[in-house]
Amino acid sequence: MAGAIASAMLFVLPVFAQDSRLSLADRVSLLEQRAQNKDQSSVQMVNQLQQMQSQLQQMQGQIEELQHQLQQLQDKSKDQYIDLDSRMGRLEGASKTGAAPASGGSAPATAAAATGAAAAGTAAAGNAPGNTAPPAADTKAPPAKGGKPLSAADNAAAQAAYDAAFKTLRGGDYVGASRQFRTFIEKYPDHSLTPNAFYWLGESYYVTTNYPVALQAFQHLLSQFPQSEKAPDALLKVGYCQLELKQAPAAKATLESVVSKYPSSKAASLAKERLRRIQTTAG
């Protein structure tokens, strides 16, 4: 009996050992397959990571470009509104000194109202008010070119219409102001305040970035009223409009003309500053 059992064990042990070897090989194969799968997963993860890094770099570049464009828009908007705010501050100061009324009213068309608004607007071409002192309250406004004398009532009506338009401009309603200044120009083409009206008409379009129409208004002022106190600032704004319209050579020539024609004016100093900025950008 014992011999039979021993014989059976001798037969079973090799078979068991063979099964154990096959099982171990299978396990090794399985482990190798798993390791290979892990390697492939790692490669895929590395590739995905590289793709994500590339996309992130592209997005960062786009963000930087958008930030640059936004900064340019903010700078342009800031320049325009600082310009307008500084001129309004000048006009408020002139109003307090009695040089000219700053807003609507029925004051007669004296020199204080006409030339006071003109002197206050000498800053309109740049970021700071002009250096021209307000004229005395009893100074007579110069007659407009080819102008016909108006009655006292008509003068008062013209002054009230101009003041109302200017008040609208100060209130930030640029569309309404442009409409009112156009109406004033059509009704009083030879009035002493007409050059001022053309100037502020141009400003109302310039602030709203309607540069072609603003350019027309400033150029009309220069052609019809070349002796106006607004001429230096209007010529400067012609250059500004040309810059905005991508007419760089014409703008440079205009700004240089401001410097040569009005060397001691505030407009000339602003033109020099803008020319320096153009040169720096070009360089």
Tell me the two tokens of residue 177.
């102001």
Domain limits for position 149: 70-282
Q: Cα separation of 272 and 263, whole Å?
A: 10
pLDDT in tens, 229-281: 999 999 999 999 999 999 999 999 999 999 999 999 999 999 999 999 988 87
Q: Cα separation of 27 and 102, whole Å?
A: 96
pLDDT on residue 202: 96
Identify whether 137 is part of a domain: yes
Identify whether 166 is part of a domain: yes
Identify whether 41 is part of a domain: no
Taking phi over 0 as left and psi of -120 to 50 as alpha, with beta for the rest, 173 belongs to beta
Identify whether 4 is part of a domain: no
Looking at residue 6, its amino acid is A
Mean pLDDT over 48-52 rounds to 81
CATH of the domain at 160: 1.25.40.10
Radius of gyration of the chain (CA): 40
Res. 152: pLDDT tops 80: yes
Give the dihedral of Cα atoms 26, 30, 35, 40; nearest 10 deg.
130
pLDDT in tens, 162-220: 999 999 999 999 999 999 999 999 999 999 999 999 999 999 999 999 999 999 999 99
Three-state SS at 109:
coil
Tell me the two tokens of residue 142.
């110069």
E strand spans, the chain: none
Identify whether 260 is part of a domain: yes
Contact by Cβ (8 Å): 125, 267? yes
Looking at residue 247, its amino acid is Q
Closest CA to 125 of 266, 276, 280: 266
The reported pTM is 0.53
pLDDT on residue 243: 95
pLDDT on residue 28: 77
Work out how many domains the chain is built from and give that number.
1
Cα-based angle 256, 197, 162 (whole degrees, multiple of 5): 155
Identify whether 177 is part of a domain: yes
Identify whether 87 is part of a domain: yes
Res. 221: pLDDT tops 80: yes
Contact by Cβ (8 Å): 91, 107? no
pLDDT in tens, 86-141: 555 555 454 444 433 333 333 333 333 333 333 333 333 333 333 333 332 222 34
Identify whether 24 is part of a domain: no
pLDDT on residue 5: 59
Tell me the two tokens of residue 136.
């005395």
